[in-house]
């Protein structure tokens, strides 16, 4: 009898703040403040990211930048469900091409 393995055995999803240079970070803060002044509380000063890391060596399999924490939270729930239900190969096939372009 073979034991069914899931992608969660090899990978985990985390919420992280995007690392950006000082000019980009300052620009995002200005836009976030302007958005809040205009009543748009949706825009985040820090770009939230959902990052899928290898449990073996902490390397990054997938990185997705979102526009808001709410969007990141919805996305991480979906990714974690797929990690729990899909095999590693199925997970990679499902999410291939969905991440940020380097």
Q: What is the pLDDT of residue 91?
A: 96
Domain boundaries, the chain: 1-19+47-101
pLDDT higher than 60, residue 90: yes
Q: Quick one: pLDDT at residue 38? A: 65
In contact, 11 and 83? CB cutoff 8 Å: yes
Q: What are phi and psi of 92, to 5 degrees?
A: -60, -40
Reading the block at residue 10, the tokens are: 């090899």
Partnered with residue 60 across adjacent β-strands are 53
Residue 1 pLDDT more than 50? no
Percent of residues, the chain, with pLDDT higher than 70: 69
One-letter-per-residue 3-state SS of 6-21: CHHHCEEEEEEECCCC
Identify the band that residue 40 occupies on the pLDDT scale cut at 50, 70 and 90.
low
Considering the entire predicted model, what is its pTM? 0.72
Integer Cα distance of 64 and 43 in angstroms: 16
């Amino acid at each position: 009898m073979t034991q069914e393995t899931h992608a969660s055995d090899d990978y985990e999803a985390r919420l992280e703040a995007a690392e950006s240079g000082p000019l980009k970070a300052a620009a995002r803060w200005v836009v976030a403040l302007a958005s809040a002044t205009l009543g748009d509380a949706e825009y985040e000063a820090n770009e939230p990211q959902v990052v899928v890391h290898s449990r073996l060596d902490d390397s990054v399999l997938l990185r997705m930048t979102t526009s808001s924490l709410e969007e990141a939270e919805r996305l991480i729930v979906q990714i974690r469900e797929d990690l729990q239900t899909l095999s590693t190969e199925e997970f990679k096939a499902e999410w291939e091409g969905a991440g940020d372009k380097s």
